[in-house]
Amino acid sequence: MSATSVPGSPSHSGERVNNAGQGYSDNAMCDQREQLIGYLYGECDRDERRAIEAHLRECPTCREEVGGLGAVRQDLLAWDVPPYESVWRPFVAPRTSNPFRDLPAWAMAAAATLVFLSGAGGGAAMHLFWPSSAAAANASASRTPVAGVTPADLASLKASVLAQVRAEMEQRVAAVASHETASTQPATANVPAGAAFDSMSARLASLEDWQNQQILLNWRFDQKIGQIGTRTSSLNTQMAANRQPDGLQVINYAIEGR
């Protein structure tokens, strides 16, 4: 490789051959190192590439510069990296208590169908073998008079049930909220449901973070144990080699070789 010259230096500018007619002046082309780098790495558009190639045909200094930098790029490929074995111990998801979680969907569907069929079969058997009990059940149900029920009765019943459910829900939300804030403020009887939800979400998020931290800690622990195991194994190997006459020779040979 020849000595490096820098485009744009006075000596370089003086050597240029005039390249008028390409739309670029020589000075501009030789002084713009960025263009050479873009060309070198193939990151310039078509017009730029054409202009640079035209310039390189006329300018031996820039041509030599691009060739030299390309040769350096080849040399850089020689930089070896040691062989690498994975140091990562894969994360393992904690086991969940739900035994059905890992079952495929078709198995769940089959199980549901089985349950349904057994229920239907049982009902049919009741009708076939104990018709009197079935009739009695029908009779007890028919004792309730239905003729006098009006839409207004149904609406009031629905409203009362809704009111009861709402009251129970608010009570539960208030209980959760008062539990959350017990250490910082006295429980209030009527905490808005939105605030309680936010509080529960925050608590869930913190639990999730805590779980992630536990996973990381477990992982780190495993790593350390693994490293200690590797070192112990290496030491054992060396000690075993020291005990063996052949091993000693190998070690001596290796030392002398260096």
Partner 1 sequence: MTRTDEELVASATAGDLDSFNQLVSRWERPIYTLAYRTLGRDEDARDVVQEAFLRAYRGLRGFKGEAKFSSWLYRITLNLCRDWMRRERRAPVVSLPEGVDPLELADDRASPVESVEDLVARREMSAAVARAMQELPDEQRQAIMLKEYHGLTFQEIADQLDCPLSTVKTRLYQGLSVLRRRLERQQTSDAAFRRATWESSS
Query: For residue 68, what are its two tokens?
Result: 């030299």
CB nearer to partner 1: give 44 or 174.
44
**CA 154 to mean position of chain CA atoms:** 52
| Contact yes or no for 203/180 (Cβ under 8 A) | yes
Choose, by CB under 8 A, the member of 20, 105, 141, 254 that binds partner 1: 254
Residue 10 is a binding residue for partner 1 (CB under 8 A): no
Residue 78 engages partner 1 in binding (rule: CB under 8 A)? yes
Q: Using CB atoms within 10 Å of the CB of residue 218, give its burial: 0 to 12 exposed, 13 to 18 middle, 19+ buried.
A: middle
- Under DSSP, the state recorded for 17 is P
State in angstroms the smallest separation of the CB of 215 from partner 1.
Answer: 8
Does the protein bind partner 1 through residue 90 (CB under 8 A)?
yes
Count CB neighbours of 52 within 10 A.
23
Written as six digits, the tokens of 199 are 């509080």
CB of 127 to partner 1, least distance (A): 49
* DSSP state string for 60-94: HHHHHHHHHHHHHHHHHTT--------------PP
210 binds partner 1 (CB under 8 A): no
Rounded to a whole number of angstroms, the minimum distance from the CB of residue 208 to partner 1 is: 8
Q: Is residue 43 at the binding interface for partner 1, with CB under 8 A as the rule?
A: yes
Q: Which one of 9, 25, 28, 41 is in contact with partner 1 (CB under 8 A)?
A: 41
Q: Work out how close the CB of 7 gets to partner 1 at its nearest, in angstroms, rounded to a whole number.
A: 9
Q: Which of 48, 49, 51 is nearest to 20 (CA)?
A: 51
Asked if 105 interacts with partner 1 (CB under 8 A), we say no
- The C-alpha angle with vertex 119 and arms to 113 and 125, in degrees rounded to 5, equals 135
**Should residue 1 be labelled a site residue for partner 1 when binding is judged by CB under 8 A?**
yes
Question: Which of 87, 128, 139, 152 forms a contact with partner 1 (CB under 8 A)?
Answer: 87
Where would I find the H helices in the chain?
10-15, 26-31, 33-40, 46-58, 60-76, 105-129, 131-142, 151-180, 193-243, 245-257
Per the listing, tokens 């992982």 go with 219
206 counts as binding partner 1 under rule CB under 8 A: no
Would you say 176 or 215 has its CB closer to partner 1?
Answer: 215
By CB under 8 A, tell whether 217 contacts partner 1. no
Interaction site with partner 1 (CB under 8 A): 1, 3-4, 6, 33-34, 36-38, 41, 43, 68-69, 71-73, 75-76, 78-82, 84, 86-88, 90-93, 212, 215-216, 219-220, 223, 253-254, 257-258
